[in-house]
Amino acid sequence: MALGRGLGAILEEVGQSYDNEMSANSTSADQIQELDVNEITANPYQPRKTFDKEALYELSESIKRNGLLQPIVVLEKDEGYLLVAGERRLRAHKLAGLDTIKAIIADVDIDDAKLRELALIENIQRENLNSMELAHSYDELIKVYEITHDELSNVVNKSRSQITNTLRLLALSSYVQKKLINGIISQGHAKILVGFDESEQKILVDTIIGQKLSVRDTELLAKKKKSGKKEELKKETKVSFLESYKNSFNEKLPFSFKVKNNSLEINFKDDAEIEKFLKMLQK
* Chain segment 100-131, per-residue pLDDT in tens: 888 888 766 666 666 666 666 666 665 556 78
* Chain segment 6-42, per-residue pLDDT in tens: 444 544 544 454 444 444 334 344 467 888 888 888 7
80-85 and 40-41 beta bridge pairing: parallel
Using DSSP, state whether 75 is helix, strand or coil: strand
Residues 6+ apart with CB under 8 A from 148: 142
Question: What percent of the chain stands above pLDDT 90?
Answer: 19
List, by residue number, the catalytic residues.
Answer: 87
**In which band, very low, low, confident or very high, does the pLDDT at 3 lie, cut at 50, 70 and 90?**
low
Q: Over the range 93-113, which residues count as b (16 or more CB within 10 Å of their CB) and which as e?
A: bebbeeeebbbbbbeeebeee
